[in-house]
Chain A
Amino acid sequence: MPPPAGSYALHVIQRAPDGEVIGHDGRPQRLARYTRGRVTLLSLVYTYCTEPTGCAFAYETGVDIKRRVLADQRLHGRAQFVSLSFDPLNDTHESMRAYGGPHARTGGALPWHFLTTRSMRELAPILEGFGQEIEVERDSRGRPTRTISHMLKLFLIDREGRVREIYSTAFLHPEAMLNDIRTLVMEEDARR
């Protein structure tokens, strides 16, 4: 059982990187715009990922936590989700919007931003900043495939843009993750 929200500390692990991303509307924005001001749960994905314990799992976990956040009125307006593609060559802002489907919202009680970047050149420092390694898998002839090997990580970022928790597959426990969001919100409230 995870400990109760607010009964533990989430230390600052690192700063969340900034960089230029493409939003729902196709316009360039700073990533910081989507990772500040609220508690942010950020995942790095690509739309055609088929690994059941990869992006799809991250997406399903996000949907689960979204439901839990919306069920807690104290969290309304205090959190946001970000799904950022690490394949700018294939994932356009339109395809990311389609990937988000009904969950893609830019406002309301729980915004969920589906973002991409213009190029690997712009994406690379963001991945480096998060410590997210990716690798394009190759076939038996050494040709690149459409599969991107990556270690699934989700990042919990406080309203000041500091990474406070990182979740890999073994850590994707929605109840514990919800408590982490609550813990950061309670921390903000205590400062006010």
Chain B
Amino acid sequence: MGTLQDVRKLMVAAAVAIAFAGAALADETCNSPYTTRLIKGQEDYVHVWTLGVDGLGDGSDKLVTVDVNPRSKRYGKVVHTLSVGGRGEAHHMGFTDDRKHLWAGGLDDSRIHVFDVGSNPAKPRLVRTIADLPKKTGFVGPHTFYALPGRMLVQALSNSKDHGGVTGIAVYNNRGRFVARYDMPTGELGGVKGDGYGYDLAINPRKNVLLTSSFAGWNNYMMDMGKLVKDAEAMKRFGGTMAAWDLKAMKPKQIFSVPGSPLEIRWSLNPKDNWAVTATALTSKIWLIKPDGKGGWQAKDVATIGDPSKIPLPVDISISADGRGLWVNTFMDGLTRYFDLSNPEAPKEIYTKKTGKQVNMISQSWDGKRVYITSSLLANWDKKGEDNEQFLALYSWDGKELKEQWRIDFTKEKLGRAHHMKFSAKGKKT
């Protein structure tokens, strides 16, 4: 690919910009409401689902476990790695409802690795690999893993027929057996036509509603980024909708036009709230999804992230436990931004810090005092050369300033591209 400036020019010229696979379900505040034992104190370990790099270490995708308890002698050190024996574009993870197992997906090989992190979080074990997603559903690219009682919702990104963006949701039980599949909506609901694309999903149990967002298919997310931005037809194939589903019936009820590839969805965890937010990668906006006063839902553009003309590419968000703050990572400029969400109708960016040459995932602790950041977006979309930093970094947050505590260089450690993070703790820590 060309230089960053070249890429920006191409994006702007194309007037459709590029979507970047961000990261869903990154942090303690974004776990499924059905996940037990939220860690509201000090987490002991961070597990990083890491993409293998050819020629680096064993070259395999792996689960990297880092000791993050400041009382430990191994604080800030890698204490365990578990390779899965190949490169399948490791991307996201999600806990089962009992938090005993961590499901981790590969966007390329569509394999789902199930790790036991409950028995001994310092030494996760691979207990199962689910390889029948394409065969059972016709979907590929398992992205979001979202616990329901006794089972897992798996939001896919693509399909095995044409590797485009039309996809769906699979349900597996906790033992890894297929239960059901649901297509993303392609028909018209409320005057908006569904594009059939998928990305993230998130549930509000009190309202029996499931929200979904939309990204792109295998053809796009596996393409070299430099090539992609020059492919005008490919650049048209990004999602621009969200859907509100009847959760119990698993039926889409409304479709919203949300241009620019809406990625992560975060419900406010404040029991008094009934709204969610998302960020659009292409258009650099925050959207609010809230009741429409008529028994349904509406989606509103409520804020801008940085200067959209510079394509900052918001790729991950992390909402505070009280629903009053939102971290946003923008990949291209390597900035970590904090938005005041006190008024969700008008979020305000109140803090910005450069945390890397490229930043993707951001995960905050429940108490909001610690913020973890990783670097990798997708193997073929990460920056090249010296800009291709690969790291896990911990920052402390006192409400005013992010202060770096430590940083692990994943290239120097021969680990790979650091992507999704999940926390775990010894024993019961709720």
Instruction: Assess the A11–B177 pair: CB atoms within 8 A.
Output: no
Instruction: Assess the A170–B33 pair: CB atoms within 8 A.
Output: yes
Residue in contact with B249 in the complex, picked from A8, A12, A166, CB distance below 8 Å: A8
> Chain A 1-36, CB within 8 Å of chain B: the 1/0 string?
111000111011110000000000000000000000
Check A171 for interface membership: any CB of B closer than 8 A.
Answer: yes
Q: Known contacts being A135-B428, A176-B248, is A14 close to B177, with CB within 8 Å?
A: yes
Tell me the smallest distance from the CB of A75 to a CB of chain B, in Å: 19
Check B151 for interface membership: any CB of A closer than 8 A.
Answer: yes
Contacts of A90 in B (CB 8 A): none
A: number of interface residues (CB 8 Å) = 25
Check A188 for interface membership: any CB of B closer than 8 A.
Answer: no
Q: Which residue of B lies closest to A135 (CB)?
A: B428
Instruction: Assess the A8–B251 pair: CB atoms within 8 A.
Output: yes
Check A160 for interface membership: any CB of B closer than 8 A.
Answer: no
Q: Which residue of A lies closest to B151 (CB)?
A: A13
Q: Known contacts being A8-B248, A8-B251, A11-B171, is A171 close to B205, with CB within 8 Å?
A: yes
The binding surface of chain A is classed by DSSP as loop
Check A168 for interface membership: any CB of B closer than 8 A.
Answer: yes
Instruction: Assess the B149–A168 pair: CB atoms within 8 A.
Output: yes
Q: Known contacts being A14-B175, A168-B97, is A131 close to B428, with CB within 8 Å?
A: no
Instruction: Assess the A14–B173 pair: CB atoms within 8 A.
Output: yes
Contacts of A14 in B (CB 8 A): 150, 173, 175, 177
Contacts of B123 in A (CB 8 A): none
Check A149 for interface membership: any CB of B closer than 8 A.
Answer: yes
Q: How far is the CA of A1 from the CA of B209 in the complex (A)?
A: 10
Contacts of A2 in B (CB 8 A): 208, 248
Check B381 for interface membership: any CB of A closer than 8 A.
Answer: no
Q: How far is the CA of A13 from the CA of B175 in the complex (A)?
A: 10
Contacts of B205 in A (CB 8 A): 170-171
Instruction: Assess the B248–A11 pair: CB atoms within 8 A.
Output: no
Contacts of A179 in B (CB 8 A): 248
Instruction: Assess the A13–B150 pair: CB atoms within 8 A.
Output: yes
Q: How far is the CA of A133 from the CA of B250 in the complex (A)?
A: 27
> Chain B 23-49, CB within 8 Å of chain A: the 1/0 string?
000000000011010000000000000
List the 10 closest A-B pairs by CB distance, nearest first: A8-B249, A166-B149, A166-B150, A170-B205, A168-B149, A3-B249, A11-B180, A151-B36, A133-B98, A11-B179
18 contacts between A and B (CB under 8 A): A3-B208, A3-B249, A3-B251, A8-B249, A13-B150, A14-B150, A131-B98, A131-B174, A133-B118, A135-B428, A151-B97, A151-B98, A153-B150, A168-B34, A168-B36, A170-B33, A170-B34, A171-B34
List residues of A whose CB falls within 8 A of some B CB: 1-3, 7-9, 11-14, 131, 133, 135, 137, 149, 151, 153, 163, 166-168, 170-171, 176, 179
